[in-house]
Amino acid sequence: MAGKKVVGLLVGRENTFPGPFLDMVNQRGADVGVTAELAVFGGTSELEPPRHAVIVDRISHEIPYYRAHLKSAALLGTAVINDPFWWEADEKFFECTLARKLGVAVPKTVVLPNKDYIPDIDHQKSLRNLKYPMDWERIVAYTGLPAVLKPNTGGGWKDVYIVHSIDQLLSAFDQTGKKTMILQEFIDWDDYVRCICIGRTNIMPLRYNPRAPFEERYVISQPVEGPLHEHAIRDAGTLVEALGYDMDTVEFAVKDGVLYAIDFLNPAPDFDNFSIKEDNFRWVLEKMTDLVIAYALGDKTPPWRDEHRWWKHVEKGPTHDALRA
């Protein structure tokens, strides 16, 4: 066996997942030469032999230096969960188009020009490609009212507005500054399901109540069953496979039997035990542990390996082993 394989974890302020995850990987990895640790970086050089066979990235969207490190580490052979290149490029509007092409229902959605720009933008000279004024009537005729105005990238329910009229839409839009926003048909759902997706094939549909306080949203007492369960697994699986996310949650608002995918851009999903509850927390720990050990041992390859153009121009192979040997 070539050297010990180290799994690194990058986290923000979450506290319930990291310890038990590292413990489980260390326990299960002991016999096969895999260990796990909180990764620690501080200034990376270009060809620095990557310490980690695998890195589970739960925070590079907020700590850009981690992302810079991860892109280089990926090139040098580290299996990064999730692909730092794709995560950075991904957006909700693109995902809506992708869902439609894949035959997964999504609310009718329009991407909007920004409200504000950096000071260098001259409204007369720099925006000649923009239609002005905006045809709000036409946009709203497509999405209907009420509609949801929300950021094209982002999370944590920040800047999500439900608007009931064009007046409300305009006053919400006026507050969006430089953010690119989408306007989306509001699905007046009669049921709501959130799927925790790990390794693209392990999909756990859970009943979810977005109207409840944060810690009470996963409704464990009402399991998702029957055709709804099957349908959620099928559509969530289709989306995460196409997106290549090994960690994600996919939310569906259900209306008249149609599952509308609402939010599936969650590449660092909430894994806290107080939120997803104990049984699901165990399931997440087990599936994440299986995945990182398989990647560490080379039994599985991350979905993004070889998919970027530059892979064709660099030496392939188990660079991680070669560098660590």
Ligand X SMILES: Nc1ncnc2c1ncn2[C@@H]1O[C@H](COP(=O)(O)OP(=O)(O)O)[C@@H](O)[C@H]1O
CB closer to Mg ion out of 36 and 262: 262
**Rounded distance between C-alpha atoms, residue 288 and residue 56, angstroms:** 9
Which residues inside 61-120 make contact with ligand X, applying CB under 6 A? 107
Asked if residue 210 binds ligand X (CB under 6 A), the reply is yes
Under the binding rule (CB under 6 A), the answer on residue 172 touching ligand X is: no
Look at residues 19, 35, 17 and name the one whose alpha carbon lies nearest to residue 27. Answer: 35
CA angle 198, 199, 203 (to 5 degrees): 45
Q: Is 197 in the site for ligand X (CB under 6 A)?
A: no
When the beta carbons of 57 and 290 are compared against ligand X, the nearer one is: 57
Examine residue 146 and say whether the peptide bond preceding it is cis (omega within 30 degrees of 0): yes
Site for ligand X in 232-291 (CB under 6 A): 251, 253, 262-263
Which of residues 251 and 290 has its CB atom nearest to Mg ion in the complex? 251
In terms of CB distance, is 7 or 276 closer to Mg ion?
276
Instruction: Give 46's DSSP letter.
Output: T
Q: Which of 281, 282, 280, 302 is nearest to 291 (CA)?
A: 302
Nearer to Mg ion, 246 or 263 (CB): 263
In this structure, are residues 244 and 197 in contact, taking their beta carbons and an 8 Å threshold?
no
- Which positions from 130 through 169 interact with ligand X, judged by CB under 6 A? 148, 150, 154-158, 160
Q: Which does 131 bind (CB under 5 to 8 A by kind): Mg ion, ligand X, none?
A: none
Return the SS3 of 260. Answer: strand
User: Using CB distances below 5 to 8 A depending on partner kind, what does residue 253 bind out of Mg ion, ligand X, none?
Assistant: ligand X
CB of 214 to ligand X, least distance (A): 11
What residue is closest to Mg ion based on CB?
Answer: 263
Q: Quick one: what does residue 86 bind among ligand X, Mg ion, none, with the CB cut-off 5 to 8 Å set by partner type?
A: none
Which pair of structure tokens corresponds to residue 24? Answer: 């489980």
> Which of 55, 121, 42 shows the shortest CA–CA distance to 83?
55
Select the binding partner of residue 111 from ligand X, Mg ion, none (C-beta < 5 to 8 A, by kind): none
Classify 54 as helix, strand or coil: strand
Instruction: Give the binding-site size for ligand X (rule: CB under 6 A).
Output: 18
Q: Which of 80, 112, 149, 187 binds ligand X (CB under 6 A)?
A: 187
Least Å from the CB of residue 270 to Mg ion: 9
Under the rule (CB under 5 A), what is the footprint of Mg ion? 263
Torsions phi, psi of 258, nearest 5?
A: -95, 135
Give the shortest CB-302-to-Mg ion separation in angstroms.
24
> Binding ligand X by CB under 6 A: which of 186, 280, 282, 321?
186
Residues 90, 303: Cα–Cα separation, whole Å = 16
Q: Count Cβ neighbours within 10 Å for each residue of 156-182 and write b for 16 or more, e otherwise.
A: eeeebbebeeeebbeebbeebeebbbb
Phi-psi region of 278 (alpha: psi -120 to 50; beta: other; left: phi over 0): alpha
Binding site for ligand X (CB under 6 A): 107, 148, 150, 154-158, 160, 184-187, 210, 251, 253, 262-263
